Amino acid sequence: MVLFEALFKNSAHQNMASSIGNVFSRLLSKKKQANMCLIGEVNTGKSTLANRIGMDFAGKPVSRVSEIPHETRSIQTLEKVDFQKDGTQLELTIIDMPGIATKVDWREFTKYGLNKNEAMTRAKEATKGIIEAIKELNNIDLALVVMDSTRVPFDQVNLTLLGALEMQKKPFIIVANKTDLPEASPEMIKETFPQHIVVPISALTGEGIEDLYEAIAKIAS
Ligand SMILES: Nc1nc2c(ncn2[C@@H]2O[C@H](COP(=O)(O)OP(=O)(O)O)[C@@H](O)[C@H]2O)c(=O)[nH]1
Ligand SMILES: [Mg+2]
């Protein structure tokens, strides 16, 4: 980059020099940079998985986890995560998205012990978070669409999300999470979306996580 800037010094081409320099330094660096998001319905385990990936490759979590829906109401990121698997190296930015829902009802939150004000604030923030998450899809290179294997996957949120990612030609992996639960059926997710990559895991126990890392490495290389 310094070399290119020196060559074009004091010339009108300085911007061009800098962009050529950026491309040059990206080519020289072995690692590809990628923005990887975790998206899906509420409480599917996006933050639990984001934290596992963060801990595995950067020793840091990304987000708070809670059984109360819409715990993640604004986009949470962890940068400079050195992902390595099967000879593939990536500099990941992990983007943990707020849960996507077709309906946010503040009364639901009062069941978890929140008072009326807290519940209404949470509902308002959750709705804003959903809009932000959809907008953020423009900036991602790879998506992990996290589904809860104990729920029926054929629903409006999943179909809309997959449709949006396909339309934008963004690569994605469907993560069939919570395989540790006895009622989990990752097979149902595979049968529902046979044309897509589906990786069964438990973000909680770590079961299947290496298969997910393999799938990420394969898609990125
Ligand atoms: N049994 C089980 N529970 C999980 C798993 N992943 C997340 N959870 C639980 O599901 C709830 C929601 O998790 P969270 O990561 O906050 O979901 P998010 O809303 O999608 O970010 C929490 O109670 C987690 O402990 C999993 O693999 N197995
Ligand atoms: Mg979350």
For the stretch 23-37, pLDDT in tens is 555 555 567 999 999
Q: Which domains does the chain have, with CATH numbers?
A: 1-29 (no CATH), 31-220 (3.40.50.300)
- The pLDDT score that the predictor gives to residue 181 is 98
- Cα of 167 from ligand 2 centre, angstroms: 25
Q: Determine the residue of 47, 53, 65, 109 to mutate for testing ligand 1's pocket, defined as the one with the most ligand atoms within 8 A of the Cβ atom.
A: 65
Q: What percent of the chain has pLDDT over 70?
A: 86
Residue 12: band (very low, low, confident or very high) from pLDDT cuts 50, 70, 90: very low
The yes-or-no verdict on residue 7 having pLDDT over 50 is no
- Find the mean pLDDT for residues 132-148: 96
| pLDDT tens, residue by residue, 66-122 | 999 999 999 999 999 999 999 999 999 999 999 999 999 999 999 999 999 999 999
Ligand lying nearest the CA atom of residue 183: 1
Q: Model-level pTM?
A: 0.86
- Cα of 191 from ligand 1 centre, angstroms: 23
Q: What is the mean pLDDT of the chain?
A: 90
Ligand lying nearest the CA atom of residue 41: 1
- Cα of 30 from ligand 1 centre, angstroms: 34
The yes-or-no verdict on residue 20 having pLDDT over 60 is no
The larger pLDDT score, comparing residue 56 to residue 21, is at 56
| pLDDT tens, residue by residue, 156-167 | 999 999 999 999
Residue 191: band (very low, low, confident or very high) from pLDDT cuts 50, 70, 90: very high
For residue 94, count other CB atoms closer than 10 A to its CB: 27
Q: Determine the residue of 43, 67, 122 to mutate for testing ligand 1's pocket, defined as the one with the most ligand atoms within 8 A of the Cβ atom.
A: 43
| pLDDT tens, residue by residue, 55-65 | 999 999 999 99
Q: What would the DSSP string read from start to end of the chain?
A: -HHHHHHTTTSTTHHHHHHHHHHHHHHHSSPEEEEEEEEEBTTSSHHHHHHHHHHHHHS---S---SSTT---S-EEEEEEEEEETTEEEEEEEEEPPPB-S---HHHHHTTT--HHHHHHHHHHHHHHHHHHHHHGGG-SEEEEEEETTS---SHHHHHHHHHHHHTT--EEEEEE-TTSTT--HHHHHHH-TTS-EEE--TTT-TTHHHHHHHHHHHH-
Output the CA–CA distances (angstroms, integers) from residue 209 to 50, 93, 199, in the order listed: 12, 18, 9
Residue closest via CA to ligand 1's atom 12 equals: 43
- The pLDDT score that the predictor gives to residue 5 is 39
Q: Which of 18-27, 53-62, 123-132, 152-161 has the lowest mean pLDDT?
A: 18-27
- The pLDDT score that the predictor gives to residue 22 is 54
- The pLDDT score that the predictor gives to residue 31 is 75
